[in-house]
Amino acid sequence: MNPIEEIEKLKEEKNAVILAHYYVDGEVQAIADYVGDSYYLSKLATTLSAPNIIFCGVKFMGESAKILNPQKTVVMADEYADCPMAHMVEIDTIETIRRENPDVCVVCYVNSTAEIKAHSDVCVTSSNAIRIVKALPNKKIFFIPDNNLGRYVASQVPEKEFIFHDGFCHVHKSIEKDSILEARKAHPEALVLTHPECTEDVLAISDFIGSTSEIIDFATASDKNTFIICTEMGIFYELGQKNPDKKFYSVGHRQFCPNMKKITLDKVLTALQNLTPEVILSEDLSLKANKPLSRMLELAK
C-alpha cells in the first residue's frame, strides 16, 4: 500500500478527519477531508462528528480546533509547525494597555497562542476582522499582534480608534512592492490579489485584498484570466484545481512559510497511526481562550 492508500484506510479505522490549511503542500491538501482558511477551519471544527481530528497546519490552528471542541482528540501532523507571529505579544503589554485604556477592546488575530487569546476580548481572522470590529460596541480597539492587518482593518473602519501592535508575518512582509510592479510589467493584464498581512504599500497597489479563501473565490468568480498572487505559495494548488485554464503568477521565491511546509504525507500517516502528538490544554486555559473564539463565531454569523 502506498502512503495515500494507508492514510485512507486509517482514516476509516480510526474514525478521523483530516483538516488542512491552504498553505500546506498540495499533496497534503489532496488527501484532506476539508481544506480552508483559518475562519472556515475553526468554524468547521465545531460541526464535525468524528472524534479524532488530524490538523495539517500550524499550532494556533490546532489549538483553536481543540479549544472549540474540548471533547475531541486534536492531533497535529507536526507539533513543531508553529507561526512565529502567534508569539509576538507579551501578556504584560495587553494588561498595560487595558490599565491605560479601561474602555478598550482587545481584538486578537487568531494567529496567536491560546494564552494570548485567553487575555483578549474577541478573536478575528483575516476574513471576518472588518465585520467584527465594526460590530463591537467599543470605540477603542487594541489590535494584536499583526500591525499590517490591524492598519488595513483600521482603514476600513474609520469610525473607530486603534492602538496597534508591532507583530508581523515574515512571509507576507517579504513580499515587496517592487517585485509586484515588475510582475505587473511582465503581465500587464493581470489582477493583483493580496493577503492583508502584506505591508501597506503592497495593499495600496493591489486590485483585491482578502483571506486565502477570499482570494481563491475572487479568482474563481472573475472573468479575468491572469492573476499575480501575493500570499503564501501553497494557495497555488487550490487556485489551479479550481481554475485549470487561468494563469497565476508569484512575485518571487520568498512566498514560502517554512512552518506550513513542515507538514508531509509521512507525518500525516504517523499522526494517524499513533493519534499523537495531541493538542493538550489545561481546562482553565481552554475555557478562557474559548470566550473570544466563541464570540468571534457569534459576531461573524
H or E element, residue 192: strand 191-194
* Least distance (Å) between residue 109 CB and ligand 13P: 9
Write 239-247 long-range contacts (CB < 8 A, 24+).
239/215, 242/216, 243/219, 246/219, 247/187, 247/190
78 binds ligand SF4 per the rule CB under 6 A? no
Q: How far is CA 172 from CA 48, 110, 146, 203, 231, in A?
A: 31, 16, 11, 11, 6
By the rule CB under 6 A, 194 interacts with ligand SF4: no
Expressed in angstroms, the distance from the first to the final Cα of the chain is: 43
Q: How far is the CB of 111 from ligand 13P (least distance, A)?
A: 5
Using CB under 6 A as the binding rule, whether residue 75 contacts ligand SF4 is answered as no
Residue 222 CA: distances (Å) to CA of 21, 53, 68, 75: 23, 34, 35, 37
Binds ligand SF4 (CB under 6 A): choice among 58, 149, 202, 281: 58
User: Could you say which of ligand 13P, ligand SF4, none residue 55 binds, taking C-beta under 5 to 8 angstroms by partner kind?
Assistant: none
DSSP 3-state assignment of 76? Answer: strand
The window from 32-40, 42-50, 101-109, 282-290 that contacts ligand 13P (CB under 6 A) reads 32-40
Q: Does 146 bind ligand 13P (CB under 6 A)?
A: no
84 makes contact, choosing from ligand 13P, ligand SF4, none, with CB < 5 to 8 Å by partner type, with ligand SF4
Residue 227 binds: one of ligand SF4, ligand 13P, none (C-beta under 5 to 8 A by kind): none
Q: Which is nearer to ligand SF4, 180 or 230 (CB)?
A: 230
- In whole angstroms, give the CA distance from residue 115 to residue 285: 7
Q: By CB under 6 A, is residue 69 in contact with ligand 13P?
A: no
Applying CB under 6 A, does 211 fall inside the site for ligand 13P?
Answer: yes
Closest CA to 107 of 245, 284, 301, 299: 299
The site partner of 212 among ligand 13P, ligand SF4, none (C-beta below 5 to 8 Å per kind) is ligand 13P
Rounded Cα gap, residues 99 and 91, in angstroms = 12
What's the rounded Cα separation, in Å, for the pair 24 and 183? 24
Q: Which of residues 240-269 bind ligand SF4 (CB under 6 A)?
A: 257, 259-260
C-alpha cell at 230: 501575493
Task: Decide whether 210 or 269 has the Cβ nearer to ligand 13P.
Answer: 210
The continuous run of DSSP H or E covering 19 comes out as strand 16-21
Residues of this chain that bind ligand SF4 (CB under 6 A):
23, 58, 83-85, 111, 169, 171, 197, 232, 257, 259-260
Residues of this chain that bind ligand 13P (CB under 6 A):
37-39, 111, 125-126, 169, 195, 197, 211-212
